[in-house]
Amino acid sequence: MTKSPPNTAQALRTLEAMRLGVVPDDDLAGYTVGRSAEMALVDVDLEDTPTSGALRAFLGEYGTGKTHLLELIRQRAVARNFITARVVLNPDETAPSHPRRVYRELLRSLEYPDQPSRTGRGLLPLLEKASTSEQVLETFKITERIRAREALDEGAHLYLTPAIRYYRALALGESNGRRLKTNDVTEKERDDGLNVMLQWLSGHPTISNQDIDDELRRLVGRQGRIYSLKDYRPWARIYGYILSGLATLARQSGYAGLAVLIDEAEFYSLLSSQNREYARILFKALAWASIGDDGGEIPFNRDELDLGGMGILQDLPPRYGDGGGLYTVFAMTPNAEGKEALAEAVPVERTAELSRLDMADYRELVAAVADHYRQARHDANAGPKVEAALAKVVSGLLESAYVENPRQAMKFVVEFLDLATFRRESMKDVVGDLRQMYG
């Protein structure tokens, strides 16, 4: 069922995660049971995303494995060459009523299929690739000088086009296809300028956009105007526009697209009534940025997103271009308010409810954990007889509600196998006691 771990150290780390009741990241599919239907939906979504975008919402009671499922989706997306981003919503730092805070965490969490997961995060790896892609240079009008409003009609992106231009000028010393004369600018100044630009585009609070504009222009000449990215609640459309632009940028830089995972969407219910309205707008903005409304699927009107921004910002569409590339997945513990909010944003046919695992699923989970235990420890007492006894015990614990979800079951299985391995003489009495109490 599971593949052999690459080395004993990694296998033991995975075992320790199980012992703590934490779902291990390594070989997650090997410990996933009862989710074939959900993953079939995800596979179709990932297939559709590069051309048309995709959108999905999963609803599940506590303990049905929503966070586990999101991590599995992330790993499946990475295997298909997607950049991934994930945010866990909470009422303070990543409140869904404040789109810049959600956007900032998504960009901080960016992971790449061709970069080390611990170091290759954030926006920089994407800009590095995009800056040398001929398709990006053409689509985003990087080497052309057109007035801002005219440039948007031609395909430029109000935020990403100047960002790529400044990256090329600061990191590559190029502007409009010509080498820049930067003899009077030190390498440290260029690095500092690049960092300021990245902080701005990643949604971090920094100096004003006008000061950023002035500083970058001083270093390498003007490469395009820097527009503000404010922590305003009505700005969800603007951040959806940027995310869909990043998805297009990802596709044209050689990736399949961008998968955005939104966890703990139920925190919507903890917001004030006014903030709930702005959270609804964020859900809708992400939905539109992902699939648009060419097929008439979206269950709301486009003008509901026309909030925030002045001047040219007011004219920005909720989705960049007409292509795909963005896949957004919501996970929520259902409650009346939250379900209603998601239903207003996500078409019903793109919403799935997670059922609780049945006894057969738990038996499969027991076998998977026991198999890994045997691979991780050469002295394991986890043979067929012990595994069969363990399956019976877990069945009793489930029926008595002593174990209520897969994480608890996984933790118990590891502890049971520890006992069977290190205190074999006690096993008969322990199993007898458990059967008497919960069997």
b/e sequence 307-324, b meaning 16+ C-beta within 10 Å: bbbeeebeebbbbbbebb
Which residues are within 8 A (CB) of 109 and not within 5 positions of it... i.e. 6 or more apart?
Answer: 84, 85, 86, 87, 121
Nearest residue to 53 via CA among 299, 259, 261 = 259
Domain ranges of the chain: 35-119+231-353, 126-220, 359-438
- DSSP 8-class letter at 174: E
pTM, rounded to two decimals: 0.90
Q: Tokens 């394991």 identify what position?
A: 380
CATH number of 35-119+231-353: 3.40.50.300
Helix (H, G, I), strand (E, B) or coil at 360: helix
Per-residue pLDDT of the chain (439 residues; tens, 9 = 90+): 344 444 567 778 888 888 887 767 766 777 788 888 999 999 999 999 999 999 999 998 877 788 889 999 999 999 999 999 999 998 888 999 999 999 999 999 999 999 877 667 899 999 999 999 999 999 999 988 767 778 888 899 999 999 999 999 999 888 776 777 666 788 899 999 999 999 999 999 778 999 999 999 999 988 999 999 999 999 999 999 999 999 999 999 999 999 999 998 667 778 888 999 999 999 999 999 999 987 789 999 999 999 888 889 998 999 998 878 999 999 998 888 888 999 999 999 999 998 888 888 888 888 888 888 888 888 888 888 888 888 888 888 888 888 888 888 888 888 888 888 887 776 666 666 655 555 5
